[in-house]
Amino acid sequence: MNWIDNRLPLTKLFKEHMSEYYAPKNFNVWYIFGSLSLLVFVIQIVTGIFLTMHYKPDAALAFGSVEYIMRDVPWGWLIRYMHSTGASAFFVVVYLHMFRGLMYGSYRKPRELIWLFGCGIFLALMAEAFMGYLLPWGQMSYWGAQVIVNLFSAIPFIGPDLALLIRGDFVVGDATLNRFFSFHVIAVPLVLLGLVVAHIIALHEVGSNNPDGVEIKNIKDAKGIPLDGIPFHPYYTVHDIFGVSVFLFVFSAIIFFAPEMGGYFIEYNNFIPANPLVTPAHIAPVWYFTPFYSMLRAVTADFMYVLTASVAIGGALLAWKGKMPTLFRLVVAGGTVVLIALLLLIEAKFWGVVAMGGGVVILFFLPWLDNSEAKSIRYRPTWHKYMYALFVLDFLLLGYLGMLAPTDLFNLLSQIGTMFYFFFFLLMPWWSRIGTFKPVPARVVYTGH
């Protein structure tokens, strides 16, 4: 070990990031989803390598090669189902991990950069999942890609050329499959890996947050060790191993007994070879994209008037009531007028794409939108908990509606849900300050569990 340490600081790294990295002693079950995300990432890389050995990125052979993996490659069906189930599991644990950050204010100072890297991981993960979804070359893979890529053509001026660049052809075909395969296997995983490393380094630099939102580094003993901290190893490695064990039981049960999960993890239409001449009755993405797909569908020509009125009212209130110099008020008023003109001039399809992308991008601004006195939901006014509960229900409703064929009622619900989603964030600088906050303790509150 000395020979290695003289050439590579292995022991030093282990001490810095494991045995002498002091984490708050009051972590709860919400803090296992970060390590589970890392576990699923490793599962996806390993299973992806084995799938790549037998998969053929050719429009004429892709579907057949997936069937070959499932039927003829020894244990190929297991590797494929691990990979497809892993994709959904990845989003489950990442959504829960992000919600924990939302509840306990893990995006607040000094952890803004950790949150930004995390949102970057989420964005890259969505790109990775979308590109991987095309590869089986089934009916839903083909038509889902056709719909999503065509959305880029709605962008003014550059849209048609951008859609052509992404497809590599005038329709989704062999060139598209090769491009998506290259990005799915090489480019995006490298970006993901870099972002994950940056996320962990940034986390270990400033230290972990905790359910109380208290900085444990503020109170240290004579040796400089936080009084409310315990070494990550062995305490939280054991904590995480227990979480991993429970996760693997559930993960294995799904793989062996319900890998398609009733058509939610793998749609039944994807067991039919892609046919450019037959359009499925209802085209919808996989469940983890459906909340944002609902936002896309919610923006119709009629809904544009509601958006225009909302922008006009919001801009007027900001310019009138906002605490800012006169010059900034004029800039806000002018910007509002320009945005209203663009809303009226550019077709609704483009603004649907903006809403879909904006649903993800707005998460990047969360550290600067939340102005509450307390980081953690524990010390905020009780009604804040109801706001977060409504947000979760709204997100689930949008996800459910995105799976269904559109009707007038479902479109109306999607529009209401989309408005609430964006108002939750855009009005956060105002509502997050309202109410009677509970006193935040100087040290973490810990009870054995």
> What are the binding residues?
83, 97, 184, 199, 204
Concatenated DSSP letters of 157-196 = TTHHHHHHHHHSSSSSSHHHHHHHHHIIIIIHHHHHHHHH
Give 51: exposed, middle or buried? Use CB within 10 Å, 0-12, 13-18, 19+: buried
Beta bridge partners of 226: 220
Tokens encoding 293:
């797909």
Give 405: exposed, middle or buried? Use CB within 10 Å, 0-12, 13-18, 19+: exposed
Q: Are 197 and 363 in contact (CB under 8 A)?
A: no
Q: Residue 366's CB: how many other CB atoms inside 10 A?
A: 20
Q: Residue 4's CB: how many other CB atoms inside 10 A?
A: 10
Provide the CA 362 distance to its chain's centre, in angstroms: 12
Question: Which positions make up the binding site for a ubiquinone?
Answer: 204
Determine which helix (DSSP H) or strand (DSSP E) holds 229, and give its type and residue range.
strand 229-231
Question: Which positions make up the binding site for heme b?
Answer: 83, 97, 184, 199
- Angle, helices 188-206/112-134, rounded to nearest 10 degrees: 160
Tokens encoding 161:
């050329």
Which residue, 274, 314, 13, 293, is CA-closest to 129? Answer: 293
Determine which helix (DSSP H) or strand (DSSP E) holds 23, and give its type and residue range.
strand 22-24
